[in-house]
C-alpha cells in the first residue's frame, strides 16, 4: 500500500519559549526565529516557495513577551493568535478568586494584541483563533446558572450557532447606538 501525503506547510505551536516551568531557556526566543528562518530557506531552496509556515502566538503578555514575532514575521505566512482558553477551571488566582469567567474576553484580546501593534507588526498576518469546543462548569449554588442550549444536547455548553446569534445581536445593537 502506498501512502501519499500532500504537504502545504507547517504550523508551529510552541507553548511556551523561555517558560521555566516547561524547560525553557533564555536562548529559546532567538532559536525560534532561527528555526522559522531556516525552515523558510529550506522550503524555498527545495522549490516549495508556496509552502506556508504559521506560528501560534500566546494570547497574553506573560508568555507572548518571549516570542519575537517581529523577527519571525518575514519568514512566516501568518500567526495564529490563540484567542480562546484565556480562562477556565485553572483560574483561581488571588486577584479574582474562584470566579466563573468566559473562556474568551474581547477586552483582554484587544489589550493582548497591543504589543504586536507597538512592534509594528503587519496585522494582516494575524489570525484570531477560535476553539471548536465549549466549556462547562459545575457551580456551587443552584441559583447560579450558565448557558444551557438544546442545540448542544449538553448542559452548560453553548453551541457556536447560539454564540454567533448572541454576538451578532450585541454587535447590531452597538451599531444602532453608534448611528444615533
Residues 112 and 179 placed together within one structural domain of the fold: no
Clarify whether residues 146 and 164 are in a common domain. Answer: yes
Asked whether residue 70 is assigned to any structural domain, the reply reads yes
Question: Has residue 4 been placed in a domain?
Answer: no
State the sign of the Cα–Cα–Cα–Cα dihedral 115, 117, 119, 124.
positive
Task: Examine the domain organization and report whether 50 and 79 are in the same domain.
Answer: yes
Q: Name the residue range of residue 145's domain.
A: 138-180
Give the C-alpha separation, 156 to 153, whole Å. Answer: 10
Separation between Cα atoms, residue 159 and residue 102, nearest integer Å:
14
Distance CA 84, CA 133 (A): 10
Is 3 inside a domain boundary?
no
Which tops the pLDDT comparison, 165 or 10? Answer: 10
56 φ, ψ (degrees, to nearest 5): -80, 135
- The answer on 106 and 157 residing in a single domain is no
152 within some domain: yes
**Which residues are known catalytic residues?**
15
Could you tell me if 151 and 107 lie in one domain? no
Whether 123 maps to a domain, the answer reads yes
- Of 1-5, 11-15, 45-49, 53-57, minimum mean pLDDT range: 1-5
- Is 24 in the same domain as 97? yes
Domain total in the chain: 2
**Is residue 139 a contact partner of residue 90, using CB atoms and an 8 Å limit?**
no
Residue 1 in domain: no
Residues 106 and 176 both lie in one domain: no
Return the pLDDT at 85: 75
Residues 107 and 151 in one domain: no
Give dist(CA 9, CA 12) in Å, integer. Answer: 10
What's the pLDDT band for 74 if we cut at 50, 70, 90? very high
Scan for cell 450585541, then name that residue.
170
Left (φ > 0), alpha (ψ -120 to 50) or beta: where does 120 sit? left
Q: What is the CATH number of the domain that holds 15?
A: 3.20.20.80
Say whether both 92 and 142 belong to one domain.
Answer: no
Are 59 and 77 found together in one domain?
A: yes
pLDDT, tens only, 15-44: 999 999 899 999 999 999 999 999 999 999
Amino acid at each position: 500500500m502506498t501512502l501519499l501525503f500532500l504537504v502545504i506547510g507547517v504550523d508551529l505551536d510552541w507553548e511556551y519559549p523561555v517558560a521555566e516551568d516547561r524547560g525553557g531557556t533564555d536562548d529559546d526566543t532567538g532559536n525560534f526565529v532561527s528555526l522559522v528562518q531556516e525552515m523558510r530557506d529550506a522550503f524555498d531552496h527545495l522549490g516549495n516557495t508556496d509552502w506556508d509556515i504559521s506560528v501560534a502566538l500566546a494570547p497574553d503578555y506573560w508568555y507572548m513577551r518571549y516570542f519575537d514575532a517581529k523577527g519571525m514575521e518575514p519568514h512566516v505566512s501568518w500567526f495564529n493568535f490563540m484567542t480562546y482558553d484565556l480562562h477556565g477551571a485553572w483560574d483561581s488566582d488571588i486577584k479574582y478568586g474562584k470566579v466563573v469567567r468566559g473562556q474568551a474576553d474581547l477586552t483582554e484580546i484587544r489589550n493582548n494584541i497591543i504589543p504586536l501593534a507597538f512592534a509594528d507588526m503587519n496585522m494582516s498576518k494575524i489570525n484570531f483563533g477560535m476553539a471548536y469546543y465549549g466549556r462547562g462548569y459545575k457551580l456551587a449554588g443552584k441559583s447560579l446558572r450558565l448557558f444551557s442550549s438544546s442545540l448542544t444536547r449538553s448542559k452548560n455548553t453553548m453551541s457556536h450557532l447560539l454564540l454567533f446569534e448572541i454576538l451578532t445581536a450585541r454587535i447590531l445593537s452597538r451599531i444602532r447606538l453608534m448611528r444615533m
